[in-house]
Structure 1
Amino acid sequence: MGLATIIENEAHFQTEMANAGTKLVVVDFTATWCPPCQRIAPFFEQLPAKFPRAVFLKTRIDRLQGADPGSLEAKVRQYYGTDEAADEDSAVAGHMDLVTFITKSECECLNESDDHPLAHALNNGNGYLASDCDEQLIINITFNQVVKLHSLKIKAPADKGPKTLKLFINQPRTLDFDQAAGNMSVQELELTPSDLEGNPVPLKFVKFQNVQNIQIFIKDNQSGGEVTLVNHLAFYGSPICTTNMGEFKRVAGKKGESH
């Protein structure tokens, strides 16, 4: 059973943070005289066993206000990823599935089938994405905070899966097909059938260090047919510590009012 690491001093804390790399780090700032700290301590000690791929640290401070076990576990689950993805995560060492950072309501796919939209491909095992009028697709994925992208994972049929991809980042709006075909991309990929088995497809990591959105132009498919299919599309990397404005809640007054 895993245990939280007790932090002895600031140097020890900095060392543990550096050693964690891109792993999720959860720190319990505690004090022996603090009743909320003592109430949440047994619960916190259970978390390392539940989430072995995360790093749990414990350090004493002068003050801690409140303790909410439910919110603590919810936050760990949000950034840790799903249990079903654990085996897949191990194939991309040091990086996580960024599905929890995708703002699905702001994502878009041009030329998607009404019966098989992009949403089906963003949830593994819940259907598939299919093109409509021809084989081409433009997929616009928006993240709720800035991320670093390391690789893609695509599951698709060997004959109808994507072949040529052009990747664009941080575009102000969704490109149209003429723009996607003519504009310079950040990276272009030529996929093979083995790439469509869910194997990680590495990106030029240095070019994907500050990504708010990514657009994928699927130019053609493996067989040259009229319909392109994608069973699952996933993005692997790590979030950059920025403020997610979507998590702010109004506490008083109406929108537009001054205080």
Structure 2
Amino acid sequence: MPGGEVIDPPHSLKATEECHFDQTLEIDGGIPDKVNCYEGVFYNYFSIGMDAQVAYGFHHLRNEKPYLAQGPISNKIIYSSYSCTQGWFLTPCVSDPSLRQMPFCSCAVEIIKVLVSGGVRAIVALNLHNYGSGRNPWGKLKPEYLEKRGFVEAHADDGLLEIFGLKQGWHASFVMVELISAKHIAQASSIRLEIRGGEWKDAFMQMDGEPWKQPMSSEYSTFLEIKRVPYQSLMINRE
């Protein structure tokens, strides 16, 4: 990312002095004189967009005024109020195309660029089927639909990320109660996301429920890559 510090990064995201650029990376506008690189690990999901913005507002308020969030009922009331006041339910999608059409790249065998439709206000990369208190917004898809979209049945150990979008608060609410499924975007073993500032100077992101504010530049792109770590965590049974 161009020079600039991440605001309130999660514990699992750390700054690193080494920055490695993929030789296949097409950079529009060149590389700035100063760049900052961060790396971290998530297990369940990564998301960018309105859901992360609402989570950031809630966490920020809870840290500043912990006496307001003392139980599950008060937490839900505060969370719901942030969802409404920040436009998750009420306002149309921002018109800035730099925030609407964000390309993903699947790097399993070849790089495939995917453009996200303008109605999507939050994008989630799901590793384990555990989003929003254990929900699975990807859903259980029928074999006919999987074949039509070129998807495979999702499993926790398949090495693939399920990438889906949420359009707005009502859509997300119906997805959470499993009345409908999320907007399916892609499946990939790794992802490269390019974002650039426009009307908005910051993007909101979260990993496993830990949100942060990501500064953006209108002159240079910020790249985010998600890929599997070279090692896996194991649980050992002494028996």
- Length-normalised TM-score, structure 2: 0.24
Q: Between Structure 1 and Structure 2, whose CA radius of gyration is higher?
A: 1
Q: Which structure is higher in RCO with an 8 Å CA cutoff and minimum separation 6? A: 2
- Length-normalised TM-score, structure 1: 0.23
Structure with higher strand content:
1
